[in-house]
């Protein structure tokens, strides 16, 4: 029975994971939204073709406290681009890395992560009603723990210089938040829990074998 302590450790580890991965604070309050929108305006959010703040504000006001996934469709530059810091021409993926090196750790710290990334391998299929369709390069599906976390990332002053790398590498992009209707791949809640259970079971077996009489 002494070996069963490993399951307690596994449960504590899984509880720590859920404390980080799940939004336990509920939806945004009206006061939080006002503060965050003020910070967005101060940080000059809205680098696209139109002001993004009203769209983001409406998304925050409709907060249900649940996770969501941001769909990003990207066209990367087909030629080398100027490094925003040095002006030197560099491969586009190296320039894009100047943004992801800062964004991904901050996203991960707030319980977010890439859920799917895929590059285009063929031409456009079943496309109509559009006058012009860019040659999209790839898509990314990013999991956010909550709308609160998205807002805090948008307001993060660390990304002020990092966005220059993204704009240099991506001539065109669009993105919008989604909630999966069907998700065939198991999420971290399942596979992290199974991983803890597997490690605990293997540790218990090893302890029992080591304690068995020879």
The per-residue pLDDT for range 181-211, each reduced to its tens digit, is 887 777 888 989 999 999 999 988 888 888 7
Worst-scoring range by mean pLDDT, 109-113, 167-171, 201-205?
Answer: 201-205
Worst-scoring range by mean pLDDT, 65-74, 121-130, 146-155?
Answer: 121-130
- What is the pLDDT, as a whole number, of residue 45? 58
Residues 6+ apart with CB under 8 A from 208: 3
| DSSP per-residue letters across 3-51 | GGHHHHHHHHHHHHHHHHHS--S-SPPHHHHHHHHHHHHHTT---SSS-
Over residues 119-146, the mean pLDDT reads 91
- What is the pLDDT, as a whole number, of residue 43? 76
Exposure string over 24-58, b if 16+ CB within 10 A, otherwise e: eeebbeeebbeebbebbeeeebeeeeeeeeeebbe
Over residues 90-106, the mean pLDDT reads 92
Its pTM stands at: 0.88
- What is the pLDDT, as a whole number, of residue 49? 46
Of the two residues 102 and 145, the one the predictor is more confident about is 145
């Amino acid at each position: 029975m002494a070996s069963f302590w490993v399951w307690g450790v596994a449960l504590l580890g899984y509880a720590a994971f859920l404390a980080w991965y799940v939004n336990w604070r509920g939806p945004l309050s009206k006061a939080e939204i006002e503060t965050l929108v003020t910070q967005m305006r101060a940080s000059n959010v809205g680098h696209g073709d139109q002001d993004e703040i009203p769209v983001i504000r409406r998304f925050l006001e409709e907060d249900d406290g649940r996770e969501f996934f941001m769909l990003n469709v990207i066209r990367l530059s087909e030629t080398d681009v100027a490094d925003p810091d040095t002006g030197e021409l560099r491969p586009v993926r190296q320039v894009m890395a100047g943004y992801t090196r800062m964004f991904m750790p901050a996203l991960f710290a707030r319980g977010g992560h890439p859920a799917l990334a895929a590059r285009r391998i063929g031409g456009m299929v079943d496309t109509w009603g559009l006058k012009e369709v860019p040659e999209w390069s790839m898509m990314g599906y990013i999991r956010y723990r909550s709308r609160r976390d998205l807002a805090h990332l948008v307001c993060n002053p660390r990304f002020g210089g990092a966005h220059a790398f993204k704009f240099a590498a991506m001539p065109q992009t669009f993105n919008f938040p989604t909630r999966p209707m069907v998700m065939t791949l198991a999420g971290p809640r399942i596979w992290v829990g199974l991983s803890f259970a597997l490690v605990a079971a293997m540790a218990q077996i090893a302890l029992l074998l080591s304690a068995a009489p020879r």
